[in-house]
Amino acid sequence: MEWGSAPAAMTHRIAIANQKGGVGKTTTTVNTAAALASMGYNVLLIDCDPQANASAALNVRPAPGESTTYDVLVLGQPMSIAVRNTSQERLTILPSSIALAGAEIELVSLPRREHRLLYALEGVTEPDFILFDCPPSLALLTLNALVAAEKILVPLQCEYYALEGLTLLMRTLEIMQTGLNPHLSLLGILLTLHDSRLSLSTDVVREVRDKLPTETFETIIPRNVRLGEAPSHGLSIQQYDPDSKGALAYNAFARELCTRLGEKMPESSGDTHG
């Protein structure tokens, strides 16, 4: 791991979670991490999803035999061995692989199975932000991220049935708070995949903000072709097209996120294009 001098006074551990797929969860994790890194924060992204989309999006594809999230969670390897640098300064990643697909079964018989990731972080010289990219489920991999995290960020797509499943996630949060992680709290809801041409998208924004006014971030992430193209090049949107609507939206969201967390912009903050 290679980081510069840390501007933040504490580490913020944020799990990006929604058991519904296709909500922009990995896109949000990768590009929020990249935006924070471009602002001068040291960021560690932990890929907890067997699909390894966050790892691929940052062009980190472990070769056979190289350590991944699986080795840390299941085999108990030190995280420092597995964490890799990315092409972006200040952004590192604990990459995932298809081997993680079998971890749900293997974790069942292990002691303190929900706490494996938390224990792994104890030996890490922590950065300013740790972002956990969770799989679209509420099984053991996600539970490990929620136990290790302090906050949950919920990406919510601006589509029909957007609020479906949010109730279940909130119920899971309540269960976590009364048992596995009493310090866990909701950081907020980020509206994603917004299409200003569709009245339905606008209706969803209004409905979510009416029901959860304080929890919903002001920033809205638009549907953007460039956001969809960036992962195929192994780049964050900030690297791929820093002037695109997607990049500008995630930069704005990163600033709003810092404000909500009470973070001042670091002196080493670079140009985030808006």
Q: What is the mean pLDDT of residues 19-45?
A: 94
d(CA 102, CA 58): 23
Of the candidates 226, 254, 263, the residue with the CA atom closest to the CA atom of residue 31? 254
Nearest-CA neighbor of 25 among 241, 122, 169, 167?
A: 169
pLDDT mean over 244-259: 97
For residue 161, what pLDDT is reported?
78
Give the residue-averaged pLDDT of 236-243: 96
Q: Is residue 131 a contact partner of residue 16, using CB atoms and an 8 Å limit?
A: yes
pLDDT of 63 above 50: yes
Q: Structural domains in the chain? A: 12-261 (3.40.50.300)
In contact, 208 and 237? CB cutoff 8 Å: no
CA dist 252 and 273 (Å) reads 9
Q: What is the mean pLDDT of residues 196-205?
A: 87
Whether the predicted pLDDT of 60 surpasses 60: yes
> If you ran DSSP here, which 8-state letter would residue 134 be given?
-
> Per residue in 69-123, pLDDT tens?
999 999 999 999 999 999 999 999 999 999 998 888 999 998 889 999 999 998 6
Tell me what pLDDT residue 141 has. Answer: 95
Beta carbons within 10 angstroms of residue 243's beta carbon: 9
Distance CA(10)–CA(13), nearest Å, equals 10
Mean pLDDT for 178-206 is 91
**Residue 141 phi/psi, 5° resolution?**
-65, -45
Rounded (10°) CA dihedral 243, 42, 122, 94: 40
